[in-house]
Amino acid sequence: LPLAQPRANADAERDMGPSPAYLLPSNSPDSAGLEEEVTSTSPSLSQSGEELAPSVQHDPPGSPLAPEARAQHAPTPRRTLPSLKQFNSARRQLRPLATPEALQRLGSTTSSGSTKSAAAPSVPTTPAPLQIAPFTAASLAPTLPQSPEPAQAPEDASPGSLLDKGDSELTGSASEESQETTTSTIITTTIITTEQAPALCGVSFSDPEGYIDSSDFPPQPFNSFLECTYNVTVYTGYGVELQVKNVNLSEGELLSIRGVDGATLTVLANQTLLVEGQVIRSPTNTISVYFRTFQDDGLGTFQLHYQAFMLSCSFPRRPDSGEVTVMDLHSGGVAHFQCHLGYKLQGAKTLTCINASKPHWSSQEPVCSAPCGGTVHNATIGRVLSPSYPSNASGSQLCVWTIEAPEGQKLHLHFERLLLQEKDRMTVYSGLTNKSALLYDSFQTESVPFEGLLSEGTSIRIEFTSDQGQAASAFNIRFEAFEKGHCYEPYIQNGNFTTSDLTYNIGTVVEFTCDPGHSLEQGPAVIECVNVRDPYWNDTEPLCRAMCGGELSAVAGVVLSPNWPEPYMEGEDCVWKIHVGEEKRIFLDIQFLNLSHSDILTVYDGDEVTPHVLGQYFGNSSPQKLYSSTPDLTIQFHSDPAGLIFGKGQGFIMNYIEVSRNDSCSDLPEVQNGWKTTSHTELVRGARITYQCDPGYDIVGSDTLTCQWDLSWSSDPPFCEKIMYCTDPGEVEHSTRLISDPVLLVGTTIQYTCSPGFVLEGSSLLTCYSRETGTPIWTSRLPHCVSEAAAESSLEGGNMALAIFIPVLLISLLLGGAYIYITRL
């Protein structure tokens, strides 16, 4: 244990001035405490006859600790430190240093111990804890107790030594009762730090273009860390585009770019993803940049450039069994919806893009559903489909369709699909009532009339009855009207045809072809319209069916499960062999795969079933992408003969295409009035090229293109189009406005006129003008209409200020002239 030094050394140490310490009041909630443990040593003889320095006493007289407290003093539990960085910062700042009050106290205690040794305690006492707080802006006050009798301090009292070793250890020596006995006291300290509240700062921007520079807003002193939020808000209908100009952050600092949508914050990028030149776009007219830094290790810096760009509505979802046509995705754009034959639109037929902080469509996208029954007048072509809605609560369902052709025409029904449950029934009548001639009854015949049905007159009635709780029957019947003396227009599912006469008169020849993946069967490829008195086709239309196996040699094609889109049969054993150019290989894209767990699909690399298996699948599987190493590929499919017991899957859809043997996409051209950035140095599969437009231009087309697995780009490159219109500045309360052009093109003017009783503040005329860089903007901000009383009050205040200012100005001029005159004398 270190002992007190002789007086000569003590005198030398007395010359060293004490360092100031930052001390909080003892009742401060954020102050840090020092815990002590007292260790006593056995008395030992002094090795010299010199007088030893007395120990430092911190306890005021009359308040010694109880013996139990002196024997064991347990420290309070340590609070969890917020972070290693804050802990290190606290250790650097929380150093117990000597203060003048402490030295005065030390001298007083020394004198007392020298002159009144009999009053000194026989055992060491525990000094009061020193209160040490982190570096803070709070008021500072010493907490060391003062000597109760400062006047009794002798002139030669030595302050002793107060050691500072960097880790807050205080060492002192106890006073001696005699010159041969010394007692040393070691005081160990425990630093308890508390996380201070951060210094908060917020900056808002509203200009359409500018910079966010962290160096423009220096941090405030006396805080351990800083949190800043930079918010950029532009015109409604516009978004904020940020481009990273520079980012240089210190370790532990946070920088986050967030999109603001009401009360929702969406992280768009953070410090781990931000690189120079990167562009981030907000989904609304507001973007927020959050920055958090610690100040003890130096501040990081960043600079972001922002500009407004025109927002648009997201592309509306295409309804199942329907189509959508979009005229414009920007504010005021219109989307038109329509359904395929046999379906009815549920919802709005037309949606409009609404201008808002985040543009949106005027209502939800509609859906297409097949109705249960209906009436069609003056029919030309259409479909009757199994209903989309479930049956009523009783489980029964009755749907009736009546179809009427124009006068002098007949109707033809073509059954593309007819799958009825055991208790479900379909009947077809040649007329408008169920008393008309019966053309078809599913209870009377098990075969499906794929050759079609012809009406005797101008109308047909179709009835469907179901007793199932949920209708599981499925049917798709196509109807068409044709003139008497002509053949009806033929139809083929999953295929197409060509005809020699679009009116299908006598002698017309029709030739059929199938879509990729299907083959003609159950009928000839060519039919002819015959019989002058009552024309008809000399044969039925053929069927296009997905076959089981085959050899394919085209540069691209489709492989479908047998009987697709219908379920495949049990016990199928199919092999497809694909061969492409000798210097090529095959890219196989399995888009849909739904098999039974007892059915197997295997893909081999080569022209036969070899041990080199590229993939083997059963059950449900996500899309797969495979490459062959040669120009040949073999696909084998086997369905379990007991499929009726274990169930069957829906099937599969696979596309193939020959590709080159390299592994990169071709480079894309630059875009005029814009630029492009790439995600990879090499344009490998999955690489993306992002196009951006210069200020004042809007991108037309897809702004991000991806190198696909077949080494082709996902879409054509876009182009940049000059923006030649302004966004709607909005209405002014208590006013009317006159717009010269509702499209708000460049040159458009808006004239605002206040209502009676209100006065206009600001410019009444706004003009949309174009800039060389940036989007067109209005010549000034929106004016305001204020009441006349408020305007007069403001005017009176201005007159009063003017009345005071003019006399003061005159007096100043007179005094100045007098001064000049006197100085020249």
Q: What is the pLDDT of residues 739-756, one digit of tens each?
A: 988 888 888 999 999 999
What's the confidence (pLDDT) of residue 61?
40
**pLDDT exceeds 50 at position 148:** no
pLDDT value at 243 more than 80: yes
Q: What pLDDT score does 180 carry? A: 43
Rounded mean pLDDT, 72-100:
39
**What is the model's pLDDT at position 190?**
56
pTM, two decimal places: 0.46
Q: CA-CA distances (angstroms) from residue 480 to 437, 505, 805? A: 19, 16, 91
Q: Which of 120-129, 484-493, 662-671, 702-711 has the lowest mean pLDDT?
A: 120-129
As a whole number of angstroms, the distance between CA 752 and CA 733 comes to 10
Q: Is the pLDDT of residue 20 over 50?
A: no
pLDDT at 163 over 60: no
Mean pLDDT of 633-638: 92
Confidence of residue 490 (pLDDT cuts 50, 70, 90): confident
The answer to whether domain 547-659 and domain 674-722 are alike in fold is: no
More confident residue, 655 or 20: 655
Angle in degrees, CA 49, 54, 57, rounded to 5 = 165
Question: In the CATH scheme, what is the code of domain 370-484?
Answer: 2.60.120.290
State mean pLDDT over 729-733.
90
**Strand 264-270, strand 254-261: pairing:** antiparallel
Structure confidence at residue 349 as a pLDDT band (50, 70, 90)? very high
| CB contact at 8 A, 558 and 654 | yes
In 3-state terms, what secondary structure has residue 636?
strand
Average pLDDT over residues 304-311: 91
Query: 31-40, 535-544, 761-770: lowest mean pLDDT where?
Result: 31-40
Q: Please write the tens of the pLDDT for every residue from 810-821.
A: 888 888 888 787
Q: What percent of the chain has pLDDT over 70?
A: 70
pLDDT for residue 189:
55
- Going by pLDDT thresholds of 50, 70 and 90, the confidence category of residue 307 is very high
When pLDDT is averaged across residues 250-267 and rounded to a whole number, the result is: 86
> In the predicted model, is pLDDT for residue 168 greater than 90?
no
Q: What angle do CA 246, 251, 254 make, to 5 degrees?
A: 65
Residue 103 has pLDDT above 60, yes or no: no
* pLDDT at 801 (0 to 100): 67
Single out the residue of 229, 339, 352 nearest to residue 291, CA to CA: 229
Nearest Cα to 653, choosing from 688, 708, 584, 601? 601
pLDDT, residue 513, reads: 92
pLDDT at 132 over 50: no
Q: How far apart are CA 459 and CA 405, in angstroms?
A: 6
Look at residue 56 and tell me whether its pLDDT is greater than 70.
no
Q: Is the pLDDT of residue 794 over 80?
A: no
Average pLDDT over residues 53-79: 40
The correct CATH number of 199-310 out of 3.40.50.1370, 3.40.50.300, 1.10.1240.10, 2.60.120.290 is: 2.60.120.290
pLDDT higher than 80, residue 259: yes
Q: What is the pLDDT of residue 324?
A: 92
Is 395 within 8 Å of 471 (Cβ atoms)? no
Q: Is the pLDDT of residue 368 over 90?
A: yes
pLDDT reading at 517 higher than 80: yes
Please choose, from the candidates 692, 687, 688, the residue with its C-alpha nearest in 3D space to the C-alpha of residue 663.
687
In this model, does residue 438 exceed pLDDT 60? yes
Which tens digits make up the pLDDT trace of 664-689?
Answer: 788 888 888 899 998 888 888 888 99
Contact 535, 485 (CB under 8 A): yes
Better pLDDT: 703 or 448: 703
User: What CATH class has 547-659?
Assistant: mainly beta
Q: Which CATH superfamily is domain 724-825 in?
A: Complement Module, domain 1 (2.10.70.10)
757 or 196, higher pLDDT:
757
pLDDT value for 224? 61
Least confident range of 12-21, 336-345, 347-356, 388-397: 12-21
Work out the average pLDDT over 304-333.
89
Q: What is the pLDDT of residue 187?
A: 58
What are the tens digits of pLDDT across the range 374-424? Answer: 999 998 889 999 888 655 545 678 899 999 999 988 999 988 888 888 888
CA 688, chain centre distance (Å): 18
pLDDT band of 500, cuts 50, 70, 90: very high
Q: Is the pLDDT of residue 161 over 50?
A: no
The 8-class DSSP code of residue 6 comes to B
Regarding predicted confidence, which is higher, 824 or 40?
824
For the chain, the average pLDDT equals: 75
The pLDDT assigned to 10 comes to: 41
User: Mean pLDDT lowest for which of 92-106, 326-340, 539-553, 736-750?
Assistant: 92-106
605 Cβ contact partners less than 8 Å away, ≥ 6 residues apart: 612, 613, 614, 628, 629, 630, 633
Q: What architecture does CATH give domain 485-546?
A: Ribbon (2.10)
Whether the predicted pLDDT of 790 surpasses 80: no
More confident residue, 240 or 567: 240
Region for 262 from its dihedrals, namely left if φ exceeds 0, alpha if ψ lies in -120 to 50, beta otherwise: left
Q: Which of the pair, 774 or 271, is modelled with greater confidence?
A: 271
In the prediction, which pLDDT does 463 show? 94
Residue 178: Cβ-neighbour burial (10 angstroms; 0-12, 13-18, 19+): exposed
- Residue 770's pLDDT band, with cuts at 50, 70 and 90, is confident
CA–CA gap between residue 327 and residue 87 (Å, rounded): 60
Long-range contacts of 68-73 (CB under 8 A, 24+ apart): 69/126, 70/38, 70/123, 70/124, 70/125, 70/126, 73/35, 73/36, 73/37, 73/38, 73/126
Over residues 206-217, the pLDDT tens digits come to: 888 999 988 776
pLDDT digits 0-9 by tens, 578-589 = 999 888 889 899
Q: What integer is the mean pLDDT of 92-99?
A: 38
Contacts 24+ apart (CB under 8 A), 422-425: 423/466, 423/467, 423/468, 424/464, 424/465, 424/466, 424/467, 424/468, 424/471, 424/473, 425/463, 425/464, 425/465, 425/466
Domain boundaries, the chain: 1-196, 199-310, 322-367, 370-484, 485-546, 547-659, 674-722, 724-825
CATH number of 674-722: 2.10.70.10
Distance of alpha carbon 620 from alpha carbon 372, whole angstroms: 33
